[in-house]
A and B are shown apart, each in its own frame.
Chain A
Amino acid sequence: MINELLNPWMLVALAAMALPLLIEWLFRRRRQRLAFPAMRYLMNPRKRRRVQLQDLILLLVRTVVLGVLVVALARPLLRPEAGQGADHAPRHVAIVLDGSYSMGQAIGQTNAFAVAQTMAQDIIRGLPQGTVVSLVYLGQRPEVLLERTADRDGVHDAIGRTKVSDMAGRMADAVAAVDQLLAADGAAAEVYLLSDLQRSTWSATPEDPRDPQALLARLTQRHGTFVLDTGGTNPFNAYLTRFEPREKVSAVGMETHYEVDVEVRNMPANGKLWLTLYADEDKAATAVADTQRPGKLSTRELTAADLHGGRATLVLPHTFVEPGEHLLRVELEGDGLATDNQRYYLASVPANVEVLIVDPRHDPAPTADPLASGSGHLQNAIAPRTPPGFERLSPFAVTVRRPEEVLQLNLERFAVVVLTNLGNPSEGLVSRLEQYVGDGGNLLIFVGDAVTPYEYNTKLLKAGKGLLPCELEAATGLAPAEALSQAKATPAKSAELLHGLVYAASEPHPAVANVRQLTRQPAPPSVSRWMPFKLNGKTGEFGRPVVFLGNRQPLACERAFGQGKVMLVGTSADASWNYLVYTSEYLVLVQELLRWLVGEPDRAVNLQIGQAFQQPVLLSSQYLLLRRPDYSKVRLAPVPQGNLWRIAYDQADRQGIYEVDTTAEVMNRRRFVVNLVATEGDLTRLELEGFQRELAQAGVTYWGPDKAVRRAVEARHSIQEYAWLFLWAVLGLLAVETLLATRFGRRRI
């Protein structure tokens, strides 16, 4: 196919094709009149038609001769497979290398990305000298590695340096990026997209409704576009979508259950997978003999029978014996793509999760009876004593102080501060608590006889701006003993005197969602006296209810304050207002409330690709270096946020461990782990026939894995001049014209 002319302006001379017609017309105008008697010999219509046809043939041949001559002078160039976007040479070629982690899938002895690299390098080898090349790499986001360079060796090396990303990419992003790149100069170009045609990469999603194929069709209107398939056969792939502890708050000595979600695609009937949990591999060099040995902890085998709808959840228990930050890793073996077969979890395991109880009636004497104070039962509920030989029951450790001692304490080391029946809190204490909670601390408040609603509403609620999540009203109900005796006397009124706890008005608050399941008993009527709440005020909603009484009165409510949370329980922490402290429900409830208040301390350091890492830092004017899993370093500058300084990093594009190069005094959590996006693990390819059909409709050329890319590109970009062919055609046509004219009796030389 001829698609270029060296002298396209010569095509103007195609008007010369009208010369034979013009000459014919001029000659016909100058006709003479002749009287002739023997007209009968000229009136044979069949023969006259033959002559007219001969005239037409000769005219056509003469016209074509001129046309071919003009084309020959225009010097046609031939590019055998050239198509749209191949108008100028040297041209601009954009290569898009799909580096999403599905490209790590095995294809024979190599993998899809290596095939794509070879294809890309073949493209470069097949291009003529002087061709301008741009290289776009698609990881999580498209990245222009090289832009409009004629340095073929440089492009070759850049392709060789690329690696499979750990991220799920969107081909729509890559096509849009290429479109933008090519739009810079507006000239037609060629685009080669090298991909394994993974469905999740090439399909629109609810979050991103752009269809890559539609974008390609739009791109093809201006540029020649080729999709190069690296191949793949919907391989057996298993991948991990979740790895996290069931217990969000843990401590040394407590068994933690790590849940691992495995999704499996195209598993053969006899296929097997092995899931192994590793711990503290990063400490292997510094491990000491008396601590737990780092490395492999346990292995589970997984067969097709263990799967339900291609999914399985395995629970791997582990107990840490050392406090500190522990790196856990699960790895899956046995499938065709290893890239997505591991996940990390960075767990901060303290020796104890410290809880401070502020009890005005606390007696620090060693001989004092804890139950005589207002927090004895609470202490037992927070940190129950573990019998010898049993696993530790609670991660919490309790410190009890009187209110006046609190101001001398460093509250930052306490995960939760609990106020029990604290009446008339001082301004200093309130201020200290507000600072503590605002910086991320948590506050749990129990009321009692010493609590005056007016004082609390004044000092703690502050019309909704303070710590208190609701407006307190005067206490109601009877003391438990009196209520119990009246209930015995008049059983009909017992329901109005003693109330059980209800956790779900419509749907349970996450803080207490598991209480009923854990107690496995119906709620006993145990609360006889409580302090009603007003959850709304003139300034709007103060907080939201957590626990209700049987009479639908809210008993506990919570609110966020600054970076922390505050929970208010409308009854006492001891037995002065209820019998709850004597029930197992009390222990479970306290534990659950504390765990919810503590939250997920490791959440901020266990991220997925694309999520941002943020941590407060104790400096403001110094850059911090972040080490990435590929050993590259990134400089991070602290930015102010509120009254704190933070660093933030949102370019985590590789699975692994990231570490900020600083000390624990500057940053509390210096390390974080990044895991793969789960959806990329599905290696299912697009339905090839339908995809090819759509590409063909859009005018996009599809090259399969068996395509000889270099030869095809060479053929496409090779330029040969074919003027000689047209000159020979002119000579041939002239010979034909002479032959025909002689044969028809028109040769008049």
Chain B
Amino acid sequence: MAEPPADRRHYFDPAVISLLKGLTVRARRIVEGVMLGMHKSPFRGISAEFAQHRSYVPGDDLRHLDWKVYAKSDRFYVKQFRQETSLACHFVVDTSESMNYAGGAALTKFEYAATLAASFAHLIIGQQDTVGLTLFAENVRTTLPAKSTFGHLNNLITTLENVTATGLTRVGGSLGPVAGLLKRRSLVVLLSDFLDDTEPFAFGMNRLRYDGHDVIVLHLADPHEQTFPFTGPSILEGHEKSGRLVCDPRDLREIYLEERQAHLEEIKTLCRGLQYDYQEIATSEPLDVALATLLHAREALTGQRRTAFA
């Protein structure tokens, strides 16, 4: 995918986006940024895409014979196209208390996740694909089934706007109900900080894998969570009843990073084993990176698994 020009980066800058009121405005602005880049594409839309040439064999439909190539090379080649089907995308967004943290970024993790989900939903619905939403904390709090109408998009955005991040993170416990809700194979986009144990999470992921869903794991992390930059004697008070610690954070930084890296490795290993995409995204990063990840994943998904040659 072509890199957007530098002057368009402010469309995706969380600091800029945080100044915008309302998730709809934020999503539209981001989508506009994406669409601006897409106008440069040689393809018209994203359907009926040319895929490749192949040698003509008797029996092939002559309509697909590429006469221009025959005129140039005096050989028969047949054009092949991708056949696209509608994409069912389902966002699973963590609304636990820890998502309400914005230590080193302009947006909280939840705001970042909601903005990202709304933006991608805007894009997908614009292309006639369906989008669903599930919010969870200790368990599933809200579920919107996948639809492709703009009214549904409004619903989805409203839902995201009105929810308050609170409660414990139980990713694993929430994925099971999500799998039960999905009637057809979908692209499940999991947005969470994953401050939870890995074992239940693995259970939920296996369930999704069993049902044949594709999962994109977007691990949201605040820059402070990534670098643990605190100095001086401190009282660290954890979210979600995770305890209270009097310490000099500088002394514990190394341990923190070690522990965190180990936890991330576990999640990565799990995702790699299930052939799911995993991406850690800092909430200070521009949203286009995350959006590009999603688009790339969608493209890959439609290319690898849903391509039907004419």
Contacts and interface: CB of A to CB of B under 8 A. Distances in A.
Contact of A35 (B101, B193, B243): B101
B259 A37 contact: no
Contacts of A48: 252, 255
A365 interface: no
A55 interface: yes
Contacts of A746: 250-251
Interface stretch (B23-31, B65-73, B227-235): B227-235
Interface string A19-32: 00000000111111
A538 interface: no
Contacts of A44: 255, 259
A50 to B, nearest CB: 8
Contacts of B195: 37-38, 40
B251 A36 contact: no
A424 B14 CA distance: 158
Contact of A27 (B222, B230, B248): B248
Contact of A36 (B103, B193, B263): B103
Interface string A530-548: 0000000000000000000
B234 A39 contact: no
Interface in B249-289: 249-256, 258-260, 263
A34 interface: yes
A15 interface: no
Contacts of A50: 255
Interface in B209-236: 222, 224-225, 230, 232-236
Contacts of A43: 242-243, 245
B240 interface: yes
B246 A42 contact: no
A51 interface: yes
Given A48-B255, A746-B250, A748-B250, A41 B237 contact: no
A47 B250 CA distance: 14
A375 B230 CA distance: 137
A41 B260 contact: yes
Contacts of B97: 37
Q: Which of B233, B239, B254 has the most CB of A within 10 A?
A: B233
A745 interface: yes
A33 interface: yes
B58 to A, nearest CB: 64
Contact of B236 (A30, A34, A51): A34
Nearest to B255: A47
B254 A745 contact: yes
A33 B251 contact: no
A27 B239 contact: no
A32 B232 contact: yes
B193 A33 contact: no
A40 B232 contact: no
A495 to B, nearest CB: 123
Contact of B230 (A30, A34, A47): A34
Contact of A31 (B222, B235, B238, B255): B235
Contacts of A42: 236, 245, 247, 252, 255-256, 259
Interface in A45-79: 47-48, 50-51, 54-55
Q: Which of A27, A38, A43, A48 has the most CB of B within 10 A?
A: A38
Q: Which 8 interchain pairs have the tightest Cβ spacing? A: A39-B238, A37-B98, A31-B233, A41-B259, A39-B242, A37-B239, A745-B254, A47-B255
Interface of B: 97-98, 101, 103, 193, 195, 222, 224-225, 230, 232-240, 242-243, 245-256, 258-260, 263
18 contacts: A29-B233, A31-B246, A32-B232, A32-B235, A35-B237, A36-B103, A40-B195, A41-B260, A42-B259, A43-B242, A43-B243, A43-B245, A44-B259, A47-B258, A51-B251, A51-B252, A55-B251, A745-B250
Interface of A: 27-44, 47-48, 50-51, 54-55, 744-746, 748
